[in-house]
């Protein structure tokens, strides 16, 4: 680890103009990114990458209830810069076995020159693959809460780049919708756009806006302030407050989340980036060795209505055992009626026997995860009694559903649940959830979450296009883990598709397999019924594909067209490619492989996969060059396992 506070360096970074404006800049370690903070009548910032403008001069600051805005007229009381470079080992490996955390950070201590003389700290970091900023706000002179009504952070985007916009219809949602390609000018003051917010500036410049380390604060969305392409921070109101009302309350000092710009010459730089985890604190669990990623069977309504029948639960436990998966998820109704005042998450329904389930699973080397409705968890603080009980039972984890909010109160509730779960050695999988923010670094038991329009939508929606699935790798997945629940083996054509039970999907079997490589989820929950998986073509791949990785390489692709990604586990590389609705041939550049002789075990679309999507060809291919030609059907895909010969 290398930390440097270099006061002399600041003499060269600090500029005062003839008008009195002060500009302080910080550069990324490789000097490709420059972030400038301008202290004038208004506090502003700007960003450039290799001489190209990423963010034009944009506003910083806040508005409060019963206070004047805090947005300028500052004196810089003090300032420091540090260069930080270390490597750390994640307790749960999502993309890398070892993560490099290398940045330059500027810390400004600001105080108003007149009026209430309030103070504010501003932190800005420049990485080689992006920038981030956050504020620290202190107590007011008057004892009691300060109330933020608006965060003034803006992102003034040059030109009118392509943007992939997701709209959830408001601030209270499960964050499950499609990302649509629009010119940035599509976004207006009425837009409530979710994140990550991806943009293609052209000329080899890609940028995504998101946030990291949300704690005791609300999440934010993007809109405009009426000025074209000037994105504004739209904080989620506290429940009961209006759009113009209070967003955050605090009596003591508060740190905002990091406002993050992921920056690179290709979308692959953003996919490979670890900036979100790097912006979070180190692991808070003293000994996280009990946290075990892996695959999970799921007795969901995907293939039928959940009735909580012991023979059915055993069947899914048997599936997990046969496939070598460590987990089985017992879904809703295991404790009877849910989301009612009478619901009791410490007692199982009369038709099942939870100790017998756990004992049977243990005999099969499988551990149990249980589903919970969020209001049943929260009512009378039931989780404080239930979580220690689950540990005594031998339950390995919890899946909590239907939060559908990311205001300050809900964000804090997430933290309470995650910490209590960690104290009782429980994994956490949130559904009906907001996007990840890198908390898996600090609390690795927070192993995955939904916040994505995933496979379950095939059951009740016509929105699940191959284009959507491809775009997820470039958009939602930039924020981190997503419990998409892949593994649908009833594959049909688009023309054959309909909403039904058991659910069917309109992509090929090879495309479904590719989701296990491309999508990031250390706990990967498999959606389909045992009869549809066991001994079926492609099931052998699900016995060997990992859920955590030592390295990742973006090979090629474009949002909505196709995506090809390689991930390494030990000495073995897994390659996944996923196509849109137009068949194509691509050549994968495998130049990342060390020198040597390799062979690829492949699962590919067949010649008739356009008409018979479940058709798949397995082959063993010697690799004589650094290239691999792949033919994908419409709605198709490809996976390979590459080993040294």
In this structure, the number of other CB atoms found within 10 A of the CB of residue 40 comes to 16
Report pLDDT for 142: 84
Encode 438-460: b = buried (16+ Cβ within 10 Å), e = exposed.
bbbbbbbbbbbbbbbbbbbbbbe
Q: Cα 520–521–527 angle (5° rounding)?
A: 115
- CATH 3.20.20.120 given to domain 2-278: no
Residue 241: per-residue pLDDT: 96
- pLDDT at residue 300 tops 80: no
- Angle, vertex CA 399, rays to CA 398 and CA 401, nearest 5: 140
SS3 428: strand
Nearest-angstrom CA–CA distance, 431 and 428: 10
Residues 375, 204 contacting (CB under 8 angstroms): no
**Could you give the 3-state DSSP secondary structure of residue 511?**
helix
The tens digit of pLDDT for each residue in 44-80 reads 999 999 999 999 999 999 999 999 999 999 999 999 9
H-assigned helices in 163-309: 267-272, 275-278
Q: How far apart are CA 547 and CA 518, in angstroms?
A: 10
pLDDT (0 to 100) of residue 16 = 57
158-214 per-position pLDDT tens digit: 999 999 999 999 999 999 999 999 999 999 999 999 999 999 999 999 999 999 999
Q: How many Å is the Cα radius of gyration of the chain?
A: 25
Supply 298's token pair.
């799921």
Q: Is the pLDDT of residue 1 over 50?
A: no
- Per residue in 411-459, pLDDT (tens digit) is 999 999 999 999 999 999 999 999 999 999 999 999 999 999 999 999 9
**Average pLDDT over every residue of 323-335:** 97
Which pLDDT does position 153 carry in this prediction?
Answer: 98
Assign domain 573-644 one CATH number from 2.60.40.1180, 3.40.50.10860, 3.30.870.10, 3.40.50.300: 2.60.40.1180
Q: Is the pLDDT of residue 350 over 60?
A: yes
Please report the sign of the dihedral spanned by the C-alpha atoms of residue 476, residue 477, residue 483, residue 487.
positive
User: What residues does each domain of the chain span?
Assistant: 2-278, 288-546, 573-644
DSSP 8-state secondary structure symbol assigned to residue 528: S
> What is d(CA 212, CA 615) in angstroms, rounded to the nearest whole number?
42
Over 60: is that where the pLDDT of 84 sits?
Answer: yes
N residues, the chain: 645
Residues 567-625 pLDDT 10s: 999 999 999 999 999 999 999 999 999 999 999 999 999 999 999 999 999 999 999 87
CATH superfamily of 288-546: Aldolase class I (3.20.20.70)
What's the CA gap between 54 and 36, in Å, rounded? 12
Cα(645)–Cα(638) distance, rounded to whole angstroms?
Answer: 21
Residue of 549, 5, 637, 59 lying closest to 271 (CA atoms): 549
Averaged confidence pLDDT in the chain: 95
Residue 527 has pLDDT above 60, yes or no: yes
Of the candidate ranges 6-20, 271-285, 378-392, 616-630, the one whose mean pLDDT is the lowest: 6-20
Contact 295, 524 (CB under 8 A): yes
Domains 2-278 and 573-644 share a fold: no
Distance CA 574, CA 640 (A): 6
Instruction: Identify the pLDDT of residue 19.
Output: 55
Position 12 confidence tier, pLDDT thresholds 50, 70, 90 = very low
Pairing of strands 22-27, 74-88: unpaired
| Model confidence at 250: pLDDT above 70 | yes
Contacts of 5 by beta carbon, 8 Å cutoff, 6+ apart: 80, 81, 82
* Percent of residues, the chain, with pLDDT higher than 90: 93
pLDDT at residue 9, as a whole number: 40
Write out the two tokens for 288: 């996280």
């Amino acid at each position: 680890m290398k930390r440097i506070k270099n006061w002399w360096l600041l003499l060269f970074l600090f500029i005062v103009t003839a008008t009195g404006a002060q500009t302080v800049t910080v550069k990324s370690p490789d000097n490709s990114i420059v972030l400038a903070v301008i202290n004038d009548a208004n506090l502003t910032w700007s960003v450039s990458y290799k001489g190209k403008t990423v963010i034009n001069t944009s506003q910083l600051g806040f508005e409060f209830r019963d206070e004047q805005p805090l947005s300028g007229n500052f004196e810089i009381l003090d300032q420091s810069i540090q260069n930080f470079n270390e490597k750390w080992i994640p307790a749960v490996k999502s993309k890398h076995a070892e993560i490099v955390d290398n940045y330059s950070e500027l810390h400004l201590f600001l105080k108003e020159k007149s009026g209430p003389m309030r103070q504010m700290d501003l932190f800005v970091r420049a990485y080689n693959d992006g920038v981030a900023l956050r504020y620290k706000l202190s107590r007011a002179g008057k004892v009691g809460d300060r109330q933020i009504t608006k965060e003034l952070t803006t992102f003034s985007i040059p030109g009118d780049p392509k943007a992939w916009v997701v709209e959830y219809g408001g601030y209270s949602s499960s964050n499950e919708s499609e990302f649509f390609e629009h010119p940035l000018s599509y976004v207006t003051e009425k837009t409530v756009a979710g994140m990550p917010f991806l943009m293609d500036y052209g000329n080899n410049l890609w940028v995504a806006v998101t946030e990291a380390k949300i704690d005791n604060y609300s999440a934010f969305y993007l809109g405009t302030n009426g000025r074209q392409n000037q994105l504004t921070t739209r904080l989620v109101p506290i429940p009961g407050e209006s759009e113009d009302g209070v967003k955050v309350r605090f009596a003591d000092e508060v740190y905002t989340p990091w406002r993050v710009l992921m920056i690179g010459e290709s979308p692959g730089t953003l996919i490979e980036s670890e900036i979100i985890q790097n912006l979070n604190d180190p692991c808070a669990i003293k000994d996280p060795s009990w946290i075990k990623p892996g695959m999970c069977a799921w007795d969901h309504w995907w293939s039928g209505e959940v009735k909580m029948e012991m023979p059915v639960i055993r069947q899914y436990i048997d599936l997990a055992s046969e496939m070598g998966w460590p987990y089985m998820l017992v879904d809703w109704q295991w404790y009877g009626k849910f989301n009612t005042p009478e619901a009791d998450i410490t007692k199982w329904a009369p038709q099942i026997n939870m100790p017998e389930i756990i004992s049977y699973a243990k005999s099969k080397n499988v551990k149990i995860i249980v589903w919970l409705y969020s209001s049943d968890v929260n009512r009378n603080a039931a989780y404080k009694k239930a979580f220690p009980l689950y540990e005594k039972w031998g339950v390995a984890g919890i899946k909590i559903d239907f939060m559908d909010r990311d205001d300050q109160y809900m964000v804090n509730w997430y933290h309470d649940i995650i910490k209590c779960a960690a104290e009782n050695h429980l994994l956490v999988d949130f559904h009906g959830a907001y996007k990840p923010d890198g908390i898996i670094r600090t609390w690795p038991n927070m192993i995955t979450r939904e916040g994505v329009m995933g496979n379950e939508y095939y059951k009740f929606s016509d929105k699940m296009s191959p284009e959507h699935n491809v775009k997820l790798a470039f958009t939602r997945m930039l924020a981190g883990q997503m419990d998409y629940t892949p593994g649908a083996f009833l594959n049909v054509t688009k023309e054959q598709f309909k909403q039904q039970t058991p659910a069917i999907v309109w992509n090929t079997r090879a495309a479904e397999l590719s989701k296990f490589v491309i999508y990031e989820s250390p706990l990967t929950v498999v959606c389909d019924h045992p009869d549809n998986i066991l001994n079926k073509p492609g099931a052998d791949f699900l016995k060997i594909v990992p859920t955590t990785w030592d390295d990742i390489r973006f090979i090629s692709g474009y949002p909505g067209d196709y995506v090809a990604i390689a991930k390494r586990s030990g000495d073995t590389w897994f390659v996944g490619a996923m196509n849109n609705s137009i068949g194509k041939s691509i050549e994968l550049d495998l130049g990342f492989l060390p020198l040597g002789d390799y062979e690829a075990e492949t699962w590919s679309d067949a010649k008739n996969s356009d008409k018979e999507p479940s058709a798949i060809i397995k082959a063993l291919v010697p690799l004589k060059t650094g290239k691999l030609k792949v033919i994908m059907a419409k709605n198709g895909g490809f996976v390979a396992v590459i080993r040294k010969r």
